[in-house]
Amino acid sequence: MAVFRPPHIPASEITPQGVYLSRRTLMGAAAGTLGLAIAGDALAAPLTGKPTAYKVPDKLTPKKDVTTYNNFYEFGTDKSDPANNSGKFKPTPWTVEIGGLVAKPQKISIEDIMSSFTMEDRIYRMRCVEAWSMVIPWIGFPLSALLDKVEPLGSAKYVAFETVVRPDEMPGQSGFFQSINWPYVDGLRLDEARNPLTILATGLYGETLPNQNGAPLRLVVPWKYGFKGIKSIVKITLTEKQPPCTWNILAPNEYGFYANVNPKVDHPRWSQATERRIGESAGLFGGARIDTLPFNGYGEQVAGLYKGMDLTKFY
Ligand X SMILES: Nc1nc2c(c(=O)[nH]1)N[C@H]1C(S)=C(S)[C@@H](COP(=O)(O)O)O[C@H]1N2
Question: Which residues sit in the known binding site for Mo-molybdopterin?
Answer: 70, 73-74, 128, 163, 213, 218, 229-231
Instruction: Tell me how far apart the alpha carbons of residues 241 and 239 are, in angstroms, rounded to a whole number.
Output: 6
Nearest distance in Å: CB 79, ligand X: 8
Instruction: State how far Cα 146 lies from the chain centre.
Output: 18
Is residue 128 within the footprint of Mo ion (CB under 5 A)? Answer: yes
Residues in region 53-82 near Mo ion by CB under 5 A: 71
Contact partner at residue 184 from Mo ion, ligand X, none, CB < 5 to 8 Å by partner kind: ligand X
- Cβ 39 to ligand X shortest distance, Å: 15
Q: Pick one of ligand X, Mo ion, none as the site partner of residue 139 (Cβ within 5 to 8 A by kind).
A: none
Question: Should residue 247 be labelled a site residue for Mo ion when binding is judged by CB under 5 A?
Answer: no
**CB closer to Mo ion, 132 vs 158:** 132
Which strands, in side-by-side order, build the sheet including 185-189?
106-109, 95-100, 233-239, 158-163, 185-189
Q: How far is the CB of 72 from ligand X (least distance, A)?
A: 5
User: Closer CB to Mo ion, residue 7 or residue 49?
Assistant: 7
Check residue 226 for interaction with Mo ion (CB under 5 A).
yes
Q: Could you say which of ligand X, Mo ion, none residue 119 binds, taking C-beta under 5 to 8 angstroms by partner kind?
A: none
**CA 123/CA 56 separation, integer angstroms:** 6
Q: How far is the CB of 287 from Mo ion (least distance, A)?
A: 18
Q: Exposure of 289 by Cβ count < 10 A (0-12 exposed, 13-18 middle, 19+ buried)?
A: middle
Selected range binding Mo ion among 37-45, 91-99, 125-133, 298-306, rule: CB under 5 A: 125-133
Segment near Mo ion (CB under 5 A), from 29-37, 126-134, 147-155, 160-168? Answer: 126-134
Distance CA 256, CA 159 (A): 16
Nearer of residues 188 and 230 to ligand X, judged by Cβ: 230
- In the bound state with ligand X, the residue whose beta carbon lies nearer, of 175 and 283, is 175
Smallest distance from the beta carbon of 52 to ligand X, in angstroms?
Answer: 20
Residues in contact with Mo ion, shown as a per-residue x/- string from 14 to 53 under the rule CB under 5 A: ----------------------------------------
DSSP string, the chain: ---SS-TT--HHHHS-HHHHHHHHHHHHHHHHHHTPPPTT-TT--B---B--S---SSPPPPHHHHTTS---GGG-SSTTHHHHH-TT----S-EEEEEESBSS-EEEEHHHHHHHS--EEEEEEEE-TTSEEEEEEEEEEEHHHHHHHH-B-TT--EEEEEE---TTT-GGGSSS--SS-SSPEEEEEHHHHTSTT-EEEEEETTEEPPGGGTTT-EEE-TTB-GGGS--SEEEEEEESSPPP-HHHHH-TTT--SS-B--TTS-BTTB--SEEEETTSPP-TTS--EEEPPGGGGTHHHHGGGGTTS-TTT--
Residue 229 interface partner, choices Mo ion, ligand X, none, CB cut-off 5-8 Å depending on type: ligand X
Residue 230 site contact among ligand X, Mo ion, none (CB < 5 to 8 Å, cut-off depends on kind) = ligand X
Residues that bind ligand X (CB under 6 A): 70-74, 128, 163, 184, 213-214, 226-227, 229-231
Closest residue to ligand X, judged by C-beta, is 226
- Annotated binding site, which residues? 70, 73-74, 128, 163, 213, 218, 229-231
Question: Which residues in this chain contact Mo ion in the complex, by CB under 5 A?
Answer: 71, 128-129, 226-227
